[in-house]
Amino acid sequence: MIHRQPTLRTRTIAPLNSLDQDWNDEPSVAWLRDGEGILGWGVAARAHFRGAERFSRAQRWAQEQLTDTRIEDGVGLARIAPIAFSSFTFDDESEGSVVVIPRTVVGLRGGVSWRTDLEMPNEPADSNDPGSSGIADLLGGEHEWLPATAWHDDEADAAQWCSAVDESVKRIAAGELDKVVLARRITASFGGPLPLIPVLLRLAERFPECWTFYVEGLIGATPELLVQRHRDRVLSRVLAGSVAAGKTSSENDRAASELKASAKDLAEHKYAVRSVAHALAIHCTDLHVPASPTVLTLPNVQHLATDIRGDLADRASALALAASLHPTAAVCGTPTERARSVIEELEERDRGRYSGPVGWFDTNGDGEFAIALRCAQLNDDRTEADLFAGCGLVADSSAASELAESEVKFNAMRQVLSG
């Protein structure tokens, strides 16, 4: 039997002013930020994983699929390599962690626009390919807008969540743990299948500082970068401690000053920074951790933010780094295992892939993973969605203020999905 290799063909395409524009075909995956990024169409291979070893199993599977890929590079891009997109569950035992290898990828970075096509051995034809009509036809098309949205906010659920907050704070005060993050869920139903392109475009336009993503029904724009690896450079952006954004710049300035002086928010942020720095220290040298956070201002919320940078000391891939970091104190709590236990006990519903790592990785080991926040999990026919928002709880947290904070966080997706 003749063994055929996967083949990756790369070529330049007509310059794109931005990836945040109209496209005619629905993508299978997306990763956008500040007008740049990558979009994928079709599926060359897909696999689902579950359990504590899901990250390492996903890495091995992707390597097996793409090993010995022959690259025909017509662009001259540095470190061009086959790419996989992935989204992982928060909890080890939850179902839904997935890796998708797209057939076609269109990218824009540093003013260079390119397209890659991956041909897998014995692969059937896939009609969901932008090349079927030509790349130029993808630009400038008109798209349907969003169907009507109905929101299902249960006051009883909100009251139950507030009771869980009170119970968590009580346990923190008793010394059982230092911090825990509790998530709320609301649901939405649509008057028809939700079109992906308008949602992606609106997210990318409204939140250019965030990472807009789509992987197998999970769509959102998250402000928190779990880890980025490029060659031997590593970056993580930690967010913890939040306040609603103001309506004017002076209101934002005042809120930012109050946030930076808030003992409660600074304590919450400290735990998150410590957990990330500890995990990265195992893999990095020259780890730079700023002494104090900055304030990241988004259209609806402001966050305390710390960018941690380091030089990679071993051969850990981006996916391996994401595995070592997850879950951070920003989405779980501290001590980690005790916080996990409280979450399992007090949260009424499985988070699914909310607050899990989402992003992309390549066969060079490079990649970017964010934490899946400000997102919606769509059902199979895209007529319903679950939205989650989490709040970090410490000793002086109050249920009323945390409930208000969760509503601020929900607003990012509420506004986008409401048309």
Exactly one of 36, 224, 347, 402 is catalytic; which is it?
Answer: 224
Please give the pLDDT value at position 137.
35
Quick one: tokens of 77? 């891009």
Q: What is the pLDDT of residues 60-105, one digit of tens each?
A: 999 999 988 898 888 776 667 889 999 999 999 999 999 999 999 9
Q: What is the pLDDT of residues 101-132, one digit of tens each?
A: 999 999 888 888 889 999 987 665 444 445 43
Structural contact between residues 213 and 356, judged by C-beta atoms closer than 8 angstroms: no
376 strand-pairing partners: 219, 387
134 CB contacts (<8 Å, ≥6 apart)?
none
Which parts of the chain sit beneath pLDDT 70? Answer: 1-4, 15-24, 77-79, 122-145, 419
- Residue identified by tokens 């390919």 is 129
Please give the pLDDT value at position 120.
84
Structural contact between residues 236 and 280, judged by C-beta atoms closer than 8 angstroms: yes
Known active-site residue 258:
no
Q: Is domain 7-417 in CATH 3.10.129.10, yes or no?
A: no
Burial class of 391 by CB neighbour count within 10 A (0 to 12, 13 to 18, 19+): buried
Exactly one of 53, 72, 144, 179 is catalytic; which is it?
Answer: 179
Known active-site residue 53:
no
The C-alpha atoms of residue 351 and residue 387 are separated, in whole angstroms, by: 10
Please give the pLDDT value at position 142.
44
